[in-house]
A and B are shown apart, each in its own frame.
Chain A
């Protein structure tokens, strides 16, 4: 009897300890994952913001070092460059050697990030915008970028920056510059653009990497909506707007960059 009670109590004690232990470890694992997620989101934002600081001052080598070895870059309609070496070649060929040239300003200020991290903590995404204030005028690239965590460090795995609007200093009420295209300037890209789209005064809705945070539903812009304008569908203004920024064959005409 005594022996039986002793065994019962002993096993009960050790079982309780083991159970509490397992539960504590489990809770701590979950806590670790949540803290890590916050740290990851911070680091991804900082990589994107640092990218902007490097663009501002032509720091192409530092910029290329933000990319994973096989990371890709696609800006405007220029096409896709694969690997950090080609990213560096693109920047240094198209925009000049490393450094901030006298007399010009090329600010690409990085605002309004929406960041997400995959459940396994290895992939991240950021939607953001650059507010471009430059000697040539104003610009609004939008970003949908992807990031990869390698050895505890977040790197850019895909930088994708389609243009929303570019204009000279006169402003978007008077002037709009259209997209770039693969052979507009050297060097040629490794792959053609991932999508053909229209910039202001038409518009293109860059697909969102996240669902609506309230409804949880994925929003998919209709391709038919691209090129809509500021009047409701069916109105003459909207019909006319569909032709603004397009040639007869539906492609996008290209304006010369500003001379100033």
Chain B
């Protein structure tokens, strides 16, 4: 009886293996679906990681925590703020950030750089990403009136190992104004490259803030048409653009 049933079992196994194709196909199908879904979940996780990274950058930057800020960059990462030029590598970035104030926020200073309105795109392979952010700015320093600022971040990110880092941070301030006067009456210029600690490269794009109305180029494609978002910059007689 035992023998008989083991023969039967062997037969059943043989039968199922001769009829192997449908279940095996289904099995392959299941594996393929799980693999595809894992990819999609990983891209969502990548996006959240990039959004957190950039938000953290803002919280550190607000308080002048320059070492913490610089450590968010990839090796060889770049930092560019307005017309100050491009600084490359963590050590150079950490020193350049001292141009924005002392390490740790000094008394009577406000250095808020809010990171808002994120549009993050992760590359299909999950190794790189881009992000556009609305950068509202609130500044004050001793002896000066408070300042409002606006601008756009267009950044790139890279995943090294399993950690997302900033590959390039490019903040395009587009306007600064005196808190009391407002945009219609006060249009403050941007700082140029520092003579004390010159950048590694000149500004990658030459533009000026308000009264010009510069449009920081879009890294991402039009979400509906899928086409590149092409914009025409306003004429600017000083920059020499028609």
Question: What is A's interface to B at a CB cutoff of 8 Å?
Answer: 1-2, 5-6, 9-10, 13-14, 17, 21, 24-25, 28, 31-32, 35, 38-39, 42-43, 46-47, 49-50, 52-53, 57, 59, 62, 65-66, 98-105, 107, 109-111, 133-137, 153-155, 169, 260
Q: How far is the CB of B139 from chain A (nearest CB, A)?
A: 15
Given A35-B40, A49-B119, A103 and B182 touching (CB < 8 A)? no
Q: Which residues of B contact A57 (CB under 8 A)?
A: 213, 215, 231
Additional pairs, 9, CB under 8 Å, beyond known A6-B12, A24-B26, A111-B116: A10-B16, A46-B223, A49-B117, A62-B231, A98-B232, A99-B234, A102-B212, A137-B182, A169-B183
> What number of B residues sit within 8 Å (CB to CB) of A?
58
Query: Which of B26, B174, B175, B224 is A21 in contact with, Cβ under 8 Å?
Result: B26
Chain B: interface secondary structure? mixed
B4, A1: Cβ atoms under 8 Å? Answer: yes
How long is the Cα–Cα vector from A65 to B30 in the complex, in angstroms?
38
How long is the Cα–Cα vector from A16 to B213 in the complex, in angstroms?
67
B44, A38: Cβ atoms under 8 Å? Answer: yes
Question: What is B's interface to A at a CB cutoff of 8 Å?
Answer: 4-5, 7-9, 11-13, 15-16, 19, 23, 26, 30, 33-34, 37, 40-41, 44, 47, 116-119, 132, 134, 136, 148, 150, 152, 174-175, 181-185, 210-215, 218, 220, 222-226, 229, 231-236
Closest 3 CB pairs of A and B: A169-B182, A100-B213, A9-B12
How long is the Cα–Cα vector from A102 to B213 in the complex, in angstroms?
5
Q: Which residues of B contact A136 (CB under 8 A)?
A: 184
A31, B37: Cβ atoms under 8 Å? Answer: yes
Query: Which of A6, A46, A101 is B119 in contact with, Cβ under 8 Å?
Result: A46
B213, A101: Cβ atoms under 8 Å? Answer: yes
A28, B34: Cβ atoms under 8 Å? Answer: yes
Q: How far is the CB of B233 from chain A (nearest CB, A)?
A: 8
A103, B44: Cβ atoms under 8 Å? Answer: no
Q: Which residues of A contact B5 (CB under 8 A)?
A: 5
- A101 nearest in chain B by CB position: B213
B218, A53: Cβ atoms under 8 Å? Answer: yes
How long is the Cα–Cα vector from A154 to B231 in the complex, in angstroms?
22
- A66 nearest in chain B by CB position: B224
